[in-house]
């Protein structure tokens, strides 16, 4: 069993998506001509990202999120960012564009950045509308672009270190206009520490096996797919107060905290994820 020695190990089994996945895309596929010219030199760590999130991760976990969940996220973001005031949106770590695409369909001008070109290629196919750019998030401040608001969903930050997170959040500060907004959707470490049981049973023999364990503030995920592919995905998680302190220090002001995008629910150990909205000062 994976990671058996960790007391808060979580093991789950997931049925993979039935259809096949795409792969083997070269470093800048999925990126438009404009971005190829302007941003290509910034493309970083493609090999590393590929090792972290395989095409099977996106087809098994990302592409199977129920539409009702995506609708809730899209509706919540559209509520936080009224299109008349916040038309230019940036999706950081956009993956296959599951939220960026629907927001573009609502009339937003959406840019999605991700370090994984295979995911961006899929995003262009299944969620057209946004501009998808292959870019390491820590370099988000380098291109000369401007946004009314940015969002980071599903804890798509924390992969390298807290210093790198600060570089990302600082870069976002330089590209979000004054009084613009930043929404972060994060795992709650206190919830993770308490939930060690498998969330779902094995479904037949076509399954992926997930071992998930928390070591300090680092969440480790080891995923084995039926094909034999293994993803090791590790990232930092932040307690809400800690996150607010870090982000406020970088020139943002807390606007509200939410659970499941509902500001009437306070983040706590009872909820796996929480969201925080900041205003850029």
Ligand X SMILES: C[S@@+](CC[C@H](N)C(=O)[O-])C[C@H]1O[C@@H](n2cnc3c(N)ncnc32)[C@H](O)[C@@H]1O
Report the nearest approach of ligand X to the CB of residue 15 (Å): 18
| Binding of residue 119 to ligand X (CB under 6 A) | yes
CB of 269 to ligand X, least distance (A): 21
The site that binds ligand X (CB under 6 A) totals a number of residues, namely 18
Token readout for 275 is 């969201």
Residue 121 interacts with ligand X (CB under 6 A)? no
How far from chain centre, in Å, is Cα 274? 13
* 148 lies in the site for ligand X, by CB under 6 A: no
Q: Which of 59, 156, 221, 275 binds ligand X (CB under 6 A)?
A: 156
Which of 31, 46, 76, 115: binder of ligand X (CB under 6 A)?
115
- Binding-site member from 14, 53, 238, 261 for ligand X (CB under 6 A): 53
Indicate the residue among 24 and 178 with the shorter CB distance to ligand X: 24
Q: Is 154 in the site for ligand X (CB under 6 A)?
A: yes
x-marked contacts with ligand X along 69-98 as a string, rule CB under 6 A: ------------------------xxx--x
Binding status of residue 62 toward ligand X by CB under 6 A: yes
Site string for ligand X, 203-242 (x = CB under 6 A): ----------------------------------------
Q: How far is the CB of 113 from ligand X (least distance, A)?
A: 6
Q: Does 159 bind ligand X (CB under 6 A)?
A: yes
153 near ligand X, judged by CB under 6 A: yes
Q: Report d(CA 94, CA 25) in Å as an integer.
A: 17
**Quick one: three-class SS letters along the chain?**
CCCCCCCCCEEEEECCCCCCCCCCCCCCCCCCHHHHHHHHHHCCCHHHHHHHCCHHHHHHHHCCCCHHHHHHHHHHHHHHCCCCCCCEEEEECCCCCCCHHHHHHCCCEEEEEECCHHHHHHHHHHCCCCEEEECCHHHCCCCCCCEEEEEECCCCCCCCCHHHHHHHHHHHHHHEEEEEEEEEEEECHHHHHHCCCCCCCCCCCCCEEEEEEEECCEEEEEEECCCCCEEEEEEECCCHHHHHHHHHHCCEEEEEEEECCECCCCCCCCCCEEEEEEEEC
Q: How far is the CB of 240 from ligand X (least distance, A)?
A: 19
- Which CB, 85 or 214, lies closer to ligand X? 214
- Select 98 or 280, whichever has its Cβ closest to ligand X: 98
Query: Longest C-alpha distance within the chain, in Å?
Result: 52
Task: Give the residues lining the site for ligand X (CB under 6 A).
Answer: 49, 53, 62, 93-95, 98, 113-116, 119, 136-137, 153-154, 156, 159
């Amino acid at each position: 069993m994976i990671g058996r020695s960790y007391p808060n190990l979580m093991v789950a089994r997931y049925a993979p998506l039935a259809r096949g996945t795409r792969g083997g895309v070269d470093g800048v596929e999925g990126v438009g001509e404009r971005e190829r010219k302007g941003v290509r030199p910034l493309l970083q760590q493609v090999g590393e990202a590929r090792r972290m999130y395989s095409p099977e991760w996106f087809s098994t976990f990302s592409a199977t999120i129920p539409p009702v969940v995506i609708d809730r996220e899209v509706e919540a973001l559209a509520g936080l960012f009224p299109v008349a005031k916040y038309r230019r949106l940036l999706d950081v770590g956009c993956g296959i564009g599951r939220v960026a695409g629907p927001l573009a369909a609502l009339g937003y001008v959406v840019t999605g950045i991700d370090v994984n070109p295979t995911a961006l290629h899929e995003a262009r196919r299944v969620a057209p509308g946004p501009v998808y750019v292959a870019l390491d998030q820590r370099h988000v401040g380098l291109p000369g672009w401007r946004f009314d608001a940015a969002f980071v969903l599903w804890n798509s930050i924390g992969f390298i270190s807290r210093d790198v997170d600060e570089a990302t959040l600082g870069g976002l500060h330089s590209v979000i206009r004054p009084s613009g907004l930043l929404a972060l959707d994060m795992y709650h470490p206190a919830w993770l520490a308490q939930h060690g049981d498998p969330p779902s049973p094995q479904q037949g023999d076509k399954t992926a096996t997930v071992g998930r364990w928390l070591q300090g503030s680092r969440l480790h995920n080891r995923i084995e797919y039926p094909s034999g592919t293994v993803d090791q995905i590790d990232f930092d998680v932040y307690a809400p107060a800690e996150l607010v302190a870090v982000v406020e220090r970088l020139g943002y002001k807390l606007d509200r905290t939410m659970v499941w995008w509902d500001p009437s629910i306070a983040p706590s150990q009872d909820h796996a994820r929480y969201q925080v909205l900041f205003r850029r000062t």
